[in-house]
DNA sequence: GCCGTTTTCGGCCCGACTGTTTTCAGTCG
């Protein structure tokens, strides 16, 4: 059977059509219609194959709905096929280069025969380009930079790296003369797992002082633009930071607008329009009159909506939920009472168990699970039955000494290729908790991978299914699982799914967590810490859980010690 | 290509910034 096309892929088709039309200098509104539809589809909460009346979607009319139906049937679009014949395929990549838009691409194509990255690179090196109207030495210089940037940094930045840099810059900007608030916006504020660039919003008395301070930031590698209300710089790390200044009375509107997501804002503006209001980054307007904008709460209020936490602003049902007063009460870092995935020097961790426990205590936790690897993880020094028994004895001894704190005897048990377990049941039954993990054979076909997991999770030995997809952000794709078949087992065996808080993993991610939550699955948050510092990664797990609409009660390590102990015991 | 209580044609978001200009075009978000 042909695989069903995803929303993501449909959106990509529309974006490509829009790009080509752009290069052809076609009607800008037609181009915008394709892009708008792409955005809507990308952020749509369910697969379009399940939408009966496509034309009821805003921005989808007769033409686009027909095209979507064709794509869903697995057909190739005639429109796109024909358009592709009209432009050199290499030209589309040039649009991704900073400083290059459709007009410049077209000019270089027509006048200098540029048709791809290589010929673009050559053209930049030749003097002829300077004879073209609108192309001066400074622009050519900028385009060269844009090109090398494109080649060097087409990757997005991991959340933790971006957050650290953004926070340092926020602190620095707060020292500017007359500055008021400095806030992070954009995908970083929504806690997306990777971010494109850092967006900061500033308010205060003196925009010039803020922008002046920004360009003097020691970690600025390059200044892309500098104005009174907006400046952009590239930091040493290669991440771009955009800083915008807003008057206090429109700061909330600016923050709302630049936090996004695009899909969320489109939905918000649609509601505003229905109410006869106009909403932009400069406020909510009735006619010419500014009626809200100082705070985000104010902006949402004019639309009869409660404040929507940034992590939910993806147009995945949060607006509807807000209207019905059904927004979740999202989990927070303060709800966490312990860490349920931690490694020690017994395997590949850097510190003794006691030090990890003391650090956890300092973080205000009541308990901690030591979950070292099982034996087939040889490169980590995974423990066999005998060694694990010794580790458990050590933990028993430590628990007798520690007051008001509990260390759980855990193990991160390998799920082998055929779904069997890496250690015998007799030792697993002496553990307080068992995490089940896939660390090998990531590329099994979906049916095999699903069968493997059904067997392992069906064994009744596993209480937490840890880093369930095995993905590493930017490095390894998730394993393929038929979740609809796994969910019944998770529910029947009362297995919690881990939201792994390591910023390299964030697994389950927000989307998967939301899906599982809706099916009634519960969660566990673990940092997978291998060092004392690693225990601090819990916040990333909380961010991810929030993106999954998860509430504190649905996470087992927000529970008090005795409740968690009961849950762990009653499952044996 | 979409849309409509100003409705089937004629609108559709636009402000900020830069570079190349001498009043503006192109890009970006």
Average pLDDT, chain A: 91
Domains and CATH numbers, chain A: 7-152 (1.10.150.110), 157-245 (3.30.460.10), 250-323 (3.30.210.10), 333-569 (3.20.20.140)
Query: Is-contact A469 A478, C-beta < 8 A?
Result: yes
**Which pLDDT does position A1 carry in this prediction?**
43
**What's the CA A24/C1' B11 distance, rounded, in angstroms?**
22
pLDDT, mean of residues A385-406:
94
Protein residue with the closest CA to the C1' atom of nucleotide B20:
A134
Whether the bond between A357 and the residue before it is cis, its omega within 30 degrees of 0, is no
Strand B bases within 7 angstroms of protein beta carbons: 1-3, 11-13, 15-21, 25-29
pLDDT, tens digit, 9 for 90 and up, residues A124-144: 988 889 989 899 999 999 899
**What's the CA A59/C1' B9 distance, rounded, in angstroms?**
18
- pLDDT band of A154, cuts 50, 70, 90: low
pLDDT, tens digit, 9 for 90 and up, residues A423-478: 999 999 999 999 999 998 888 888 999 999 999 999 999 999 999 999 888 777 78
Residues in A 317-346 whose C-beta is less than 7 A from nucleic strand B are none
**Interatomic CA distance for residues A60 and A40, integer angstroms:** 9
**Which pLDDT does position A267 carry in this prediction?**
84
Q: CB neighbours of A453 closer than 8 A, spacing ≥ 6?
A: A415, A419, A438, A465, A481, A486
Pick the more confident residue, A150 or A60: A60
Looking only at the bridges linking them, the beta strands covering A464-465 and A496-500 are parallel
Strand B within 7 A of A239 CB:
no
pLDDT, tens digit, 9 for 90 and up, residues A43-55: 676 788 888 888 8
pLDDT, tens digit, 9 for 90 and up, residues A56-100: 888 899 999 999 999 999 899 999 999 999 988 889 989 988 899
Q: Distance of alpha carbon A559 from its chain centroid, rounded? A: 26
pLDDT, mean of residues A306-311:
96
Q: Which residue has the tokens 């060269």?
A: A144
Pick the more confident residue, A352 or A41: A352
Q: Which residues pair with A383 in a beta bridge?
A: A374
Cα–Cα–Cα angle for A251, A256, A260, rounded to 5 degrees: 145
Strand B within 7 A of A142 CB:
yes
Q: Which nucleotide is nearest to A57 (CA to C1')?
A: B2
pLDDT, tens digit, 9 for 90 and up, residues A523-548: 999 999 988 889 999 999 999 999 99
Q: Which of A22-36, A333-347, A404-418 bottoms out in mean pLDDT, i.e. has the lowest?
A: A22-36
pLDDT, mean of residues A254-258:
95
Strand B within 7 A of A39 CB:
no
Residues in A 270-299 whose C-beta is less than 7 A from nucleic strand B are 280
Q: Which nucleotide is nearest to A197 (CA to C1')?
A: B29
DSSP code per residue over A508-553: S-HHHHHHHHHTT--EEEE--BSSTGGGGGHHHHHHHHHHTT-BGG
**Interatomic CA distance for residues A220 and A223, integer angstroms:** 7
pLDDT, tens digit, 9 for 90 and up, residues A373-389: 998 887 788 899 999 99
**What's the CA A262/C1' B7 distance, rounded, in angstroms?**
29
Strand B within 7 A of A135 CB:
yes
**Interatomic CA distance for residues A436 and A414, integer angstroms:** 6
**What's the CA A259/C1' B24 distance, rounded, in angstroms?**
32
**Which pLDDT does position A481 carry in this prediction?**
93
């Amino acid at each position: 059977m042909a695989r069903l096309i995803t929303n993501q892929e449909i959106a990509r088709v529309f974006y490509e059509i829009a790009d080509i039309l752009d290069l052809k200098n076609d009607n800008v509104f037609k181009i915008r219609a394709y892009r708008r539809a792409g955005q809507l589809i990308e952020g749509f909460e369910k697969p379009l194959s399940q939408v009966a009346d496509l034309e009821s979607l805003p921005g989808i009319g007769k033409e686009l709905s027909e095209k979507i139906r064709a794509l869903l049937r697995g057909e190739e679009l005639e429109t796109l096929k024909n358009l592709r014949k009209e432009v050199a395929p290499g030209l589309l990549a040039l649009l991704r280069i900073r400083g290059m838009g459709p007009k410049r691409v077209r000019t270089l194509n027509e006048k200098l025969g540029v048709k791809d990255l290589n010929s673009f690179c050559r053209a930049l090196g030749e003097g002829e380009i300077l004879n073209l109207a609108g192309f001066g030495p400074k622009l050519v210089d900028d385009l060269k930079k844009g090109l090398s940037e494109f080649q060097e940094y087409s990757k997005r930045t991991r959340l933790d790296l971006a957050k650290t840099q953004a926070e340092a810059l926020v602190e620095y900007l707060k020292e500017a003369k007359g500055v008021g608030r400095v806030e992070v916006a954009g995908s970083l504020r929504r806690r997306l797992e990777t971010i494109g660039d850092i967006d900061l919003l500033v308010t205060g008395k003196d925009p010039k002082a803020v922008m002046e301070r920004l360009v003097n930031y020691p970690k600025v590698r390059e200044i892309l633009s500098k104005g009174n209300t907006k400046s952009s710089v590239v930091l040493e790390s290669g991440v771009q930071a955009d800083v915008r200044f807003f008057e206090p009375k429109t700061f909330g509107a600016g923050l709302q607008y630049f936090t996004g997501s695009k899909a969320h804002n489109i939905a918000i503006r649609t509601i505003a329009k229905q109410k006869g209001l106009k909403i932009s980054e400069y406020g909510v307007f009735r006619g010419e009159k500014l009626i809200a904008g100082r705070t985000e709460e104010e902006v949402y209020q004019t639309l009869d909506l409660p404040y929507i936490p940034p992590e939910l602003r993806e147009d995945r049902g949060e607006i509807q939920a807000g209207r019905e007063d059904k927004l979740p009460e999202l989990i927070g870092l303060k709800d966490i009472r312990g860490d349920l995935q931690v490694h020690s020097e017994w395997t590949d961790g850097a510190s003794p168990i006691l030090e990890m426990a003391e650090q956890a205590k300092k973080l205000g936790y009541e308990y901690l699970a030591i979950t070292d690897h099982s034996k087939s993880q040889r490169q980590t020094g995974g423990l066999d039955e005998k060694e694990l028994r010794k580790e458990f004895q050590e933990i028993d001894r430590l628990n007798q000494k520690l007051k008001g704190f509990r260390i759980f005897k855990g193990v991160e048990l390998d799920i082998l290729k055929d779904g069997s377990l890496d250690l015998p049941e007799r030792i697993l039954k002496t553990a307080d908790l068992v995490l089940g993990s896939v660390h090998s054979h990531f590329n099994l076909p979906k049916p095999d991978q699903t069968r493997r997991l059904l067997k392992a999770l069906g064994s009744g030995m596993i209480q937490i299914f840890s880093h369930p997809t095995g993905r590493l952000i930017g490095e390894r794709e998730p394993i393929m699982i038929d979740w609809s078949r796994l969910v019944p087992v998770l529910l029947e065996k009362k297995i919690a799914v881990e939201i792994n808080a390591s910023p390299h993993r964030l697994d389950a991610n927000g989307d998967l967590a939301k899906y599982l939550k809706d099916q009634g699955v519960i969660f566990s948050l673990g940092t997978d810490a291998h060092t004392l510092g690693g225990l601090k990664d819990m916040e990333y797990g909380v961010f991810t859980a929030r993106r999954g609409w998860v509430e504190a009660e649905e996470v087992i390590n927000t529970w008090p010690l005795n409740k968690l102990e009961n849950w762990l015991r009653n499952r044996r």
